[in-house]
């Protein structure tokens, strides 16, 4: 599994699963996962307008959001805190300490995946939704 990917488990009925397997057998897709990824991407394209409106309305960053030690230290020096809101991947740098994260980050909302040390995640647990 590529770094940044998340593994999902889904339940399908035997008829749907059989239909997918038939498409795989006929060479339309490499495997079940290929079919499911394609179906999800197609649905996301079909829903792109409502998704774009929602991202704008909620003021979310889309894609990868890297949070560096320097950014957090600067926020503290400027007497402000960060509100991290991401659709995609939020990465908190490995050199960020739990104390620095708590001092500089007021809230974390990630629709996707949050990558940070276990200690930083624990320090921000009460600020993460």
**pLDDT for 44-93, tens place per residue?**
999 999 988 888 887 788 899 999 999 999 999 999 999 999 999 999 99
CA distance 75 to 102: 12
Q: Is residue 100 within 8 Å of 69, Cβ to Cβ?
A: yes
Give me 5's structure tokens.
């990917």
Which pTM does this prediction carry?
Answer: 0.67
Annotated domain spans of the chain: 14-46, 56-127
**pLDDT for 115-125, tens place per residue?**
999 999 999 99
Q: Is residue 88 within 8 Å of 112, Cβ to Cβ?
A: yes
How long, in residues, is the chain? Answer: 129
């Amino acid at each position: 599994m590529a770094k940044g990917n998340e593994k999902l488990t889904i339940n399908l009925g035997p008829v749907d699963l059989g239909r997918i397997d038939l498409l795989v057998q006929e060479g339309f897709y490499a495997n079940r996962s290929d079919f499911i990824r394609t179906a999800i991407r197609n649905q996301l394209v079909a829903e792109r307008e409502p998704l774009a409106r929602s991202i704008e309305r909620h003021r979310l960053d889309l894609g990868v959001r890297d949070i560096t030690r320097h950014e957090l230290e600067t926020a503290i020096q400027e007497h402000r805190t960060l509100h991290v809101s991401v659709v995609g991947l939020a990465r908190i740098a490995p050199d960020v300490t739990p104390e620095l994260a708590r001092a500089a980050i007021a809230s974390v909302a990630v629709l996707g995946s949050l990558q940070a040390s276990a200690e930083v995640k624990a320090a921000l647990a009460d600020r993460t939704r």
